[in-house]
Structure 1
């Protein structure tokens, strides 16, 4: 008893400290619990939207006979661009008008890929009409200029035409990538995928088309007749050189399944 009386002051301080610490911990835990309770409806709604978004994306990957490559329509896109390059350089074939009309019906748009920002065969519409000066009128059409350059083995493809199938499929992929509910880690993978697709067209396909038209021109000017050719051959060269998407898609599917916890035991 005497010991307690002599040390009552610091014992009181210890009990006060313990009580204060306990109260602080309880307050913190109560706050965290309350915050979690308030945010739970928001989290549930976000998870619901993300689950729906990712499920739709997995479904998209199953379209076109379960082939992502078929959705990109690489085969038709390459063959179409072969004919468009030949047309741009002034080469005309039997039933040329009908062929170009058919090809035109398959084209959705084009993307620039030339070394210059100026496309000579694209007309820029001004707000004001001006009479062109005599010095401004070109002596040769863009097609004639390309034809003359091809004679010395120079060629550049400045645009890649996209088929409607490719454009619509790529558009869907891009829309998923920029969706605000798409998890950041998956957005990064989707960005890699779209970058690979763009590089395949503006770098790899551009190179293969230029190599094709130069070789075509070399034979034509040497023999004064068009060589026998098959656009499928250009596709084969492109398909060999391009970036393939299987590994990226496998990673994407795996990450989505992990995010949705599809393979976990409940």
Structure 2
């Protein structure tokens, strides 16, 4: 009987010890988890703050490209005036040579490499104009010199230096890993509109080229040629860059408002960023 009682007491003590062990470890795990939650707030908060500061810097730089700029200014930053002139002159020169075998001096051409060092060309045009034989390009076949047989395929756009430079500057903004996705998408849409307008110039010039034999059947009439009729057609069909620029500013505003970062709640509101940008802008752009 004494043996059985002793065994019962030992079993109870073992069970009690096991329960206390389980409770101890559960308590330890719970405290560790609660400690992790608290530590996460303090450990990751500096990282969040640093990321937010980087976003502020990036978005402030972006706003400098778009705040307070109208359609004329935005186009001028890509030098669309020279882009139009260069590509119109290229078509005119092609017509003059085709119809009258006359070439202008290279230094007089607005599309020369010093002014337009880059360009865009459609793949189908490249395939039609050049034949690859053993890795070498053959020169395009010369058309006959009659105005009535004139055809102009277009499909290429000469790009001015400022166009290339401005596009690179804006694309560099997209390289930031801290750039919010909605803002990046709005900037991409802006660049797509710029490229669309560049191709529009080629499209309008291609249509205008069909009218060249009728408008300028002789060299005398060609000497009095004006480009305004083509300029007017191009400008009437441009995609408005100002609308896309305003959309970028709106997306940035919405991004900060969605985080409840209103001006009255801190120094990181949209108005604060806008004031910072305006201080950096020249007086004429603010």
For normalisation by structure 1, the TM-score amounts to 0.70
The structural deviation recorded for 1:121 is: 6.3
Alignment partner of 1:110: what SS?
strand
Can you give the 5+ residue segments of structure 1 that lack an aligned partner in the other structure? Answer: 1-20, 131-135
The structural deviation recorded for 1:244 is: 0.9
1:71 lines up with 2:77 in the alignment: yes
Match of 1:44 among 21, 25, 49: 49
1:87 lines up with 2:61 in the alignment: no
Instruction: Work out whether residues 86 and 110 of structure 2, in 8 Å CA contact, stay in contact via their aligned partners in 1.
Output: no
| Aligned equivalents of 2:240, 2:90: Cα separation in 1 | 25
The structural deviation recorded for 1:102 is: 7.8
**Aligned residue for 2:162?**
165
**Aligned residue for 1:105?**
114
Match of 1:196 among 187, 193, 196: 193
Shift in alpha-carbon separation, 1:209–1:101, aligned structure 2, 3 A: closer
**Aligned residue for 1:249?**
245
Superposed CA offset, 1:84-117 (max 9, x none): 2223445377863331278432112011135344
Instruction: Work out whether residues 79 and 162 of structure 2, in 8 Å CA contact, stay in contact via their aligned partners in 1.
Output: yes
Alignment partner of 2:152: what SS?
coil
Shift in alpha-carbon separation, 1:46–1:156, aligned structure 2, 3 A: same
| Aligned equivalents of 2:250, 2:104: Cα separation in 1 | 49
Larger Cα-atom Rg: 2
User: What is the RMSD of the two structures over their aligned residues, measured on CA atoms?
Assistant: 3.9
Alignment partner of 2:157: what SS?
strand
1:144 lines up with 2:151 in the alignment: no
Alignment partner of 1:38: what SS?
helix
Instruction: Work out whether residues 154 and 206 of structure 2, in 8 Å CA contact, stay in contact via their aligned partners in 1.
Output: yes
Write the mapping of 1:165-184 to structure 2, written as runs, cut at 5 A. 165-184=162-181
Shift in alpha-carbon separation, 1:64–1:252, aligned structure 2, 3 A: closer
Shift in alpha-carbon separation, 1:27–1:120, aligned structure 2, 3 A: same
Of the structure 1 ranges 50-59 and 226-235, higher mean CA displacement relative to structure 2 is found in 226-235
Instruction: Work out whether residues 59 and 252 of structure 2, in 8 Å CA contact, stay in contact via their aligned partners in 1.
Output: yes
Instruction: Work out whether residues 155 and 214 of structure 1, in 8 Å CA contact, stay in contact via their aligned partners in 2.
Output: yes
| Aligned equivalents of 2:253, 2:187: Cα separation in 1 | 15
Shift in alpha-carbon separation, 1:230–1:178, aligned structure 2, 3 A: farther
Instruction: Work out whether residues 117 and 160 of structure 2, in 8 Å CA contact, stay in contact via their aligned partners in 1.
Output: yes
Instruction: Work out whether residues 75 and 235 of structure 1, in 8 Å CA contact, stay in contact via their aligned partners in 2.
Output: no
| Aligned equivalents of 1:79, 1:178: Cα separation in 2 | 32
Instruction: Work out whether residues 85 and 209 of structure 1, in 8 Å CA contact, stay in contact via their aligned partners in 2.
Output: yes
